[in-house]
Amino acid sequence: MAVLTSIPPPAGETPTRPRRRRRERTTVTGLRRSLQRHWTLYLLMVVPLIWFAVFKYIPMSNAVLAFKSFNVTKGIWGSPWVGWQNFELFFHNPVFWTLVKNTFVLSVYTVAASFPIAIILALALNEIRNGLFKRSVQLVTYAPYFISTVVVVSMTILVLSPRLGIVNEGLGFFGVPAIDFLGNPDYFRHIYVWSDVWQTTGYSAVIYLAALSGIDPALHESALIDGASRLQRIRHVDLPGIMPTAVIILVLAVGNIMAIGFEKAFLLQNPLNLSQSEIIATYVYKTGLLNADFSGATAIGLFNSVINLVLLLMVNTIAKRITGNGLWS
Amino acid sequence: MSVQTEARTVPSKRVERRAARARRIREPRTDRIFLFCVYLLLAVFFAVVLAPLLYIVASSFSSPEAVSSGRVLFWPVEFSLRGYHAVFQNPQIVQGYLNSLFYTVVGTIVSVTMTIAVAYPMSRRTLVGRNVVMTLILFTMLFTGGLIPTYLVVQSVGLLDTRWALIIPQAIGVWQVIIARTYFRTAIPDELVEAAELDGCGDLRFLWSVVIPLAKPMIAVVALMYAIMQWNSYFDALIYLKNPDLFPLQLVLRNILILNTTGGGAVDASVVIQRQQLADLLKYSLIVVVSVPVLLIYPFVARYFTKGIMIGAVKG
């Protein structure tokens, strides 16, 4: 999938190798001949393909559970058909709109915060000379990306802890009473988003830096000769240069807006901030695995998956319009 | 002679450099101010990212009393290793560490093997049917069955509450397949395949003795991606495992740090405070212990990770 189509390939590789066009043979004889010639390769694929069938495609067919009332003894296929009942139950559930809103707001907020900051970091790094400072900034800002979600959340909790945390220590210095950040639902979104920004900005900036390094230096030189200031060159050379990459990344982020991950929200959750921290993914986990309502949870999950798919397809169409290039061809 | 010429070149070089500086268009004042702001901004980025890391590391090397009273900032106070001592005395953590090592090593081997096994045939242009298969693989990126249907499959295959539940269901990453396939396509010339075929070298032998040695850098990247993913993941363990002996480190960490369950025991009034202090300190040390393996190798692999992103970016 060409998420970052505009990034030039690494030096020394030619992605567009002259390709000999073979005449299309009839599929059946072609397949037979290919099987004869490459039977070892087909054999090689067998295990991974079985894996895809079992762990990706059977779950997709299992999603039919959403329209059934699951009965452990009868299994998925033997359970009675109930049609849209599970969906209706979910839509009429008072938490429905809260879940959708929480998921949506959290996602949009994350994109809105991390998207511009990553670009700013990349532009700033691109302005300065290669040297120790630049390398250290890159190394340090990139590092949190490799830390696990559990650790990031643990660090967040420790840093913000009302009893031990350095933040409250600092606030106390100015006479502000200790704040229980995680116990207050109003802070949840900010904590989630800004710890995410902390973790991923350096990584995202790398993508833009690659796009920036692909800009023709002649453009910068001619702008320089014309007397453009640094800011003007950023505005008129760098920004247009990374625009295609930025559009694709933004579009992809928008397409994934309802697919926000379970992991972090679940870890940051506690009974006190649930009113804002409960998102669709965590609710699915709770109804399905903790309350053993398999059909209900499958229905909610399916609802979410379908929305994601529709969003992605829509967004792909828009991306094709804007950049002439979809996320996949 | 040589000494003399050297002595002469030094000043001449300096003159040259000065001349070059004079010739260059001098940056206008606003640009220099702007550049200063850029440096300042980057310094802020640097500090903001580094500060929490430093705080955690500094705390982990401090004494329990100093941590509890909040005296630690960015440098250890009353240096002590008691936090680390406590970490390595906790049987849960040690077991988790060993489990995570197992999952990471075995999981990475399985994942890399499976990824190559599917990506290499996908890269061969003469293989009929590869487009259909690739489409089927890519589709799994767009649509998934969801949590419960997948859980039911894992259950019916009999993996629930076994070590394999953390290795098999997540074995192949579609993204890694794309990276591997693109690399095989671009880095292995078709002429090589043809030459090998003429010499009577079979596909498997060609894969083993030509393709894999040539693809070592890519395989290293993919292996590291899988290893870091496996080391950092906790979700699968959370849903598939019940037996605490099988828990990976991240799940142990979550139980200790986020749910605050260090394991109680008899409560003696005078010991309680001390134990609480040590439990607090242990959290900081534990975070360091868990993250160090990844952060140690990361500076060496970051470059390749970037490359990996680029490889994946070339349209497949």
Same-domain check for residues A312 and A253? yes
Same-domain check for residues A34 and A122? no
Q: Which of 259-278 (A) contact B at CB < 8 A?
A: 262-263, 267
For residue A191, what are the contacts with CB-CB under 8 A and spacing of at least 6? A156, A160, A181, A182, A268
Same-domain check for residues A118 and A241? yes
Please give the residue range of the domain that contains residue A38: 29-58
CB contact under 8 Å between A9 and B313, yes or no, is: yes
Closest residue in B to A49 (Cα) is B118
Closest residue in A to B74 (Cα) is A166
Residues in chain B with CB shorter than 8 Å from the CB of A30 are: 128
Give the mutation candidate from A158, A262, A290, A329 for the B interface (greatest B CB count, under 10 A): A158
- Does residue A5 form part of some domain? no
Domains along the sequence of chain B with CATH: 2-48 (no CATH), 86-313 (1.10.3720.10)
What's the predicted TM-score (pTM) here?
0.82
Give the pLDDT of residue B40: 92
> Taking each helix axis from N to C terminus, what angle separates B269-313 and B174-187, rounded to the nearest 10 degrees?
40
Same-domain check for residues A150 and A247? yes
Same-domain check for residues A181 and A39? no
- Mean pLDDT for B284-291 is 88
Same-domain check for residues A180 and A42? no
Give the pLDDT of residue A119: 93
Same-domain check for residues A80 and A144? yes
Same-domain check for residues A97 and A44? no
- Does residue A7 form part of some domain? no
Could you tell me the CA-to-CA distances from A130 to A127, A133, A134, A222, B300 in Å, in that order? 9, 8, 6, 22, 18
- Does residue A208 form part of some domain? yes
Q: Are A4 and A243 in contact (CB under 8 A)?
A: no
pLDDT at A9 over 60: no
Same-domain check for residues A82 and A120? yes
Inform me whether the C-beta atom of residue A52 falls under 8 Å from chain B C-beta atoms. yes
Long-range (24+ apart) CB contacts under 8 A made by A267-273 are: A267/A149, A267/A150, A267/A153, A267/B254, A267/B258, A268/A153, A268/A156, A268/A182, A268/A188, A268/A191, A268/A192, A270/A182, A270/A183, A272/A180, A272/A182, A272/A183, A272/A184, A272/A185, A273/A182, A273/A183, A273/A184, A273/A185, A273/A187, A273/A188
Predicted confidence band of residue A325 (pLDDT cuts 50, 70, 90): low
Spell out where chain B has E strands: none
Same-domain check for residues A160 and A305? yes
Question: Chain-wide mean pLDDT for chain A?
Answer: 82
The total of other beta-carbon atoms located within 10 Å of residue A126's CB is 20
Q: Are A141 and B44 in contact (CB under 8 A)?
A: no
Same-domain check for residues A53 and A169? no
Closest residue in A to B142 (Cα) is A309
- Does residue A296 form part of some domain? yes
- Does residue A192 form part of some domain? yes
CA dihedral B48, B49, B53, B59 (to 10 degrees): 0
SS3 A45: helix
Q: Ranked by mean pLDDT, which of A11-15, A61-65, A81-85, B227-231 comes out on top?
A: B227-231
- Does residue A161 form part of some domain? yes
Report how many domains make up chain A: 2
**What digits encode the pLDDT tens for the residues B246-265?**
999 999 888 887 776 544 44
For residue B199, what are the contacts with CB-CB under 8 A and spacing of at least 6? none
Closest residue in B to A172 (Cα) is B70
**What digits encode the pLDDT tens for the residues B152-209?**
899 989 988 899 999 999 899 998 898 899 888 888 888 888 888 888 888 888 889 8
User: % helix / strand / coil in chain B, to the nearest 5?
Assistant: 75, 0, 25
ipTM of the shown complex:
0.81
CATH code for the domain of A276: 1.10.3720.10
Residues in chain B with CB shorter than 8 Å from the CB of A31 are: 128-129
Q: What is the phi/psi pair of residue B81, to 5°?
A: -110, 20
Q: Provide the 8-state DSSP code for A81.
A: B
- The distance of B233 to chain A (nearest Cα, Å) reads 7
**What digits encode the pLDDT tens for the residues B201-226?**
888 888 898 889 888 888 888 898 89
Q: Are B81 and B61 in contact (CB under 8 A)?
A: yes
- Does residue A112 form part of some domain? yes
- Does residue A102 form part of some domain? yes
CB contact under 8 Å between A157 and B126, yes or no, is: no
Same-domain check for residues A166 and A211? yes
The amino acid occupying position A234 is I
Give the pLDDT of residue B165: 92
Q: Which spans in A53-178 are helix H?
A: 58-62, 75-78, 85-92, 95-127, 132-142, 149-160, 166-173
- Mean pLDDT for A180-197 is 87
Kind plus residue range of the DSSP H or E element containing B82: helix B82-89
DSSP code per residue over A213-257: HTS-HHHHHHHHHTT--HHHHIIIIIHHHHHHHHHHHHHHHHHTG
Predicted confidence band of residue B316 (pLDDT cuts 50, 70, 90): very low
